[in-house]
Amino acid sequence: MMFDIIITNGTIIDGTGNPPFQSDIGIKGERIEAIDHLDNVESNRIIDATNLIVAPGFIDTHTHSEGDLLINPDHEYGLKQGITTELLGIDGMSYAPLSKKNYLTYRHWLSGLLGYPPADLDMSSVSSFKTHYHHKVSINTAYLIPNGTVRLEVAGFKDVPLDTDMMKKYIKLVEQGFEQGAVGFSTGSSYYPGPWTSTKELIEICKLVKQLNGIYMSEPRRANPERAFKGGGVAEALEITEKSGVKLHIAHYRTDPTNAGSVESHMRLIDESKNNGSDITLDIYPYPSGSTIPVSYIPSWAQDGGPSKLLERLGNPSAKKKIADELEQSVNYSRQVEDMIFSYSPNHPELEGQTLPDLAKSRNSSIGETLCDLLISENLELGYVMPPPVNLSLWRQVSKDCMDLLARDDYMVCSDITPAGSMPHPRTYGAFPRILGRLHRTYNTMSLENLVHRMTERPALRFGLTNRGKLHKGYFADITIFDKNNVIDTSTYDDPKQYPSGIPYVLVNGKVSIDNHVYTGAKSGKSIP
C-alpha cells in the first residue's frame, strides 16, 4: 500500500488514557489507515517524530471563533496550540438560526467579542451556518444552538416571556438545528437577549434537548437573577438538569483569586447533584482572569429593543445617568471594572491596552459615565480583558487548582478563545500549551496520557464527534505532534499575540496544516459531525 503520509519513530498517546507506546502511523486521504511499524513501506511524505509525542488533535470545548473564522480562515492562533476542532455557538450567542435582519442586529451587539463578519451571509439555519466553515477554514467546527440567538429569532430583542406560539417556534428551531447537525444547546451568563429567559422556560427547552440526545452547556447566569432558580449561577444550571434530565456541561468552571485553594467547596453542589444521578461534565482554561464585552453589563431595561434602542438611551442624558448609576451600584459590575483593560476598539484602536479607571480619571468622569460615553463613541464595539492578580501566590494557587480540577474524571480543557482586537486574552494563543507544558510540568497531578485524554477522546465522546479524538484505524487523521519537554505558551497579558513553541506539526483531516511550526495554508477543516 502507498500511504500519503507516514509519521514515524514517534511515541503514541492515543487519546484513550492508555499508556504511551512506540509505533508509526500511516495516513491515506483523510483517515488513519494503519498504526504499526511501517518500515520499508512507501509514502509520499515521511514525518519523523523521533523524541516527540504523537497525539490526537486537541478538541476545544469553548471558543468564540465563529466571527473571526469568517474573516481570518487561517486561524493560526488555534492550530498552533494543537487544536484541530472547536465548538462554536457557546454562551448562548452566535449567528444561527437568524433571519437577515436579526443576523445584522446580533452581529452588531456581539461585535466586541466576535468581530464583524461579512453582512451578506445566510445564517437562517444551522445548515446554512455550517456551509460558511465546511472546507473553507483551517480547523474543524461543531455547533451548539444558542439560547439567546433562538430567542432573538422568535421573540425579537425584547424582554417578554415566551408565550405558547413563541415556544412552539422555539422548539421547532431547536429540532431543526439538531436535525442539521448541532451537537448541543447553550446558555450564557449575561449575553442578551438570553438572560430574559426564565429557569422554567429553560427546563422545558432542555426536556427537548434530552429527547434529542444533546448536551446542555451552561455558562452560569449572572444577569436577571430574579428570573432564575436561587438567583442563577450553578444552582440554576443544576436545577435545569435535575428537572429536565438533560446531560449538563458547565463552561469554564474554575476557582479565581477570590476563592483560590477552595476546590473541594467549589465543587460541592456539583458533586451532590452528580451523586443524585445528574450527568455533568465541565471544562476549564488555565488563567486567573477572564474577558468579555462591556455591553453585556448594561442593565436589563436598557437592553430592551436591541442595539439601536440601547444607543438611543445612551444618548439621552437622563437615561444615560440612570445606566451609569446602576453600573456603579452593581456588585457584579463593580467586581469587573476595577482594572478593566480594553482589548478591542476598532474605531479608536489607541484605546486598546488602556484601563477604564485611567480613562475615567483622564476625562474627570465617573467609571459608569465613561463607559457609557465609550459605548456611544465606539458604536458598542468594545471588548475587554481583566488582568491577572498582582499577588503571584494567588495566581500560582489558581494554576494548581486548575490542575487539581483537571485530575477529576469529569473535566476537559478549553481555551475560551476571544480573538478580536490587538490585546486579546492570552488564552487565545496559549491555553492548551500552557496546560500541556508549563502547568503539567509544574503540578504533576496526573499522567500525560490522562491529560491528553481530557483534550481529545473525552470531549469527542461527550459531544458526539464520531471518529475523532482518538488515534485509531479508520478515524480521521486529526493529529498533533508535540515535544513534551519543551512545549510551552509564550502569550502574556501584556504581549498576547505570541504563538507557543514545542508543537511542530498539526494535521487536520489528513492534511498537514502546521509543518515544522509553519502554517501551510491548508483549509481542510470540516463542519462536523
Q: What is the pLDDT of residue 444?
A: 85
d(CA 198, CA 239): 12
Q: What is the pLDDT of residue 40?
A: 87
Mean pLDDT for 433-445 is 96
φ, ψ at 14 (rounded to 5°): -85, 0
Per-residue pLDDT tens digits for 220-249? 999 999 999 999 999 999 999 999 999 999
Burial classification of residue 74, based on how many CB atoms lie within 10 Å of its CB (0-12 exposed, 13-18 middle, 19 or more buried): middle
Which grid coordinates belong to 521? 495554508
Mean pLDDT for 331-358 is 81
Residue 332 has pLDDT above 90, yes or no: no
CATH number of 58-290+388-515: 3.20.20.140
Looking at the chain, the whole-number percentage of residues with pLDDT higher than 90 is 94
In Å, what is the CA distance from 82 to each residue of 211, 259, 280? 34, 31, 26
For residue 193, is the peptide bond before it cis, meaning its omega torsion is within 30 degrees of 0?
Answer: yes
Burial classification of residue 350, based on how many CB atoms lie within 10 Å of its CB (0-12 exposed, 13-18 middle, 19 or more buried): exposed
| Confidence band of 283 (pLDDT split at 50, 70, 90) | very high
Residue 338 has pLDDT above 80, yes or no: no
* Residues in Cβ contact with 180 at an 8 Å cutoff, skipping those fewer than 6 apart: 125, 126, 127, 130
Q: What is the pLDDT of residue 334?
A: 45
In Å, what is the CA distance from 214 to each residue of 170, 173, 177, 186, 243? 16, 14, 11, 10, 16
Mean pLDDT for 66-72 is 96
Residue 300, H or E segment: helix 300-303
Compute the mean pLDDT over every residue in the chain, rounded to the nearest whole number. Answer: 96
Q: Which residue has the cell 491577572?
A: 388
| Confidence band of 329 (pLDDT split at 50, 70, 90) | confident
Q: H helices then E strands: how many in the chain?
A: 22, 20
* Residues in Cβ contact with 84 at an 8 Å cutoff, skipping those fewer than 6 apart: 56, 57, 58, 59, 139, 140, 478, 479, 480, 506, 507, 508, 513
Q: What is the pLDDT of residue 272?
A: 98
Contact 170, 162 (CB under 8 A): yes
DSSP letters for 364-377:
T--HHHHHHHHHHH
Residue 433 has pLDDT above 80, yes or no: yes
- pTM greater than 0.85: yes
d(CA 377, CA 373): 6
Q: What is the pLDDT of residue 336?
A: 61
Q: What is the pLDDT of residue 112?
A: 93
Q: Which residue has the cell 439621552?
A: 316
Domains of the chain, residue spans: 58-290+388-515, 292-385
d(CA 110, CA 307): 10
| Confidence band of 105 (pLDDT split at 50, 70, 90) | very high
φ, ψ at 380 (rounded to 5°): 75, -5
DSSP state of 502: S
3-state secondary structure 65-98: CHHHHHHCCCCHHHHCCCEEEEEECHHHCCCCCC
Q: What is the pLDDT of residue 215?
A: 98
DSSP state of 191: -
Per-residue pLDDT tens digits for 126-146? 999 999 999 999 999 999 999
d(CA 81, CA 69): 16
Residue 106 has pLDDT above 90, yes or no: yes
d(CA 53, CA 392): 32
Contact 430, 439 (CB under 8 A): no
d(CA 206, CA 196): 16
φ, ψ at 122 (rounded to 5°): -85, 115
d(CA 19, CA 415): 26
d(CA 391, CA 388): 9
d(CA 313, CA 63): 31
d(CA 446, CA 32): 28
* Residues in Cβ contact with 119 at an 8 Å cutoff, skipping those fewer than 6 apart: 104, 107
Q: What is the pLDDT of residue 337?
A: 61
Neighbours of 304 (CB within 10 A): 18
φ, ψ at 404 (rounded to 5°): -65, -40
d(CA 35, CA 120): 45
Q: What is the pLDDT of residue 327?
A: 87
Residue 292, H or E segment: strand 291-292
Mean pLDDT for 272-300 is 96
Mean pLDDT for 374-379 is 96
* Range in 326-335, 372-381, 482-491, 504-513 with the lowest mean pLDDT: 326-335
Degrees, nearest 5: CA angle 393-399-402: 145
Q: From 85, 18, 65, select the one nearest 477 (Cα to Cα).
A: 85
Residue 467 has pLDDT above 60, yes or no: yes
Mean pLDDT for 71-87 is 98
d(CA 377, CA 380): 8
* Radius of gyration of the CA atoms of the chain, in A: 23
Per-residue pLDDT tens digits for 145-192? 999 999 999 999 999 999 999 999 999 999 999 999 999 999 999 999
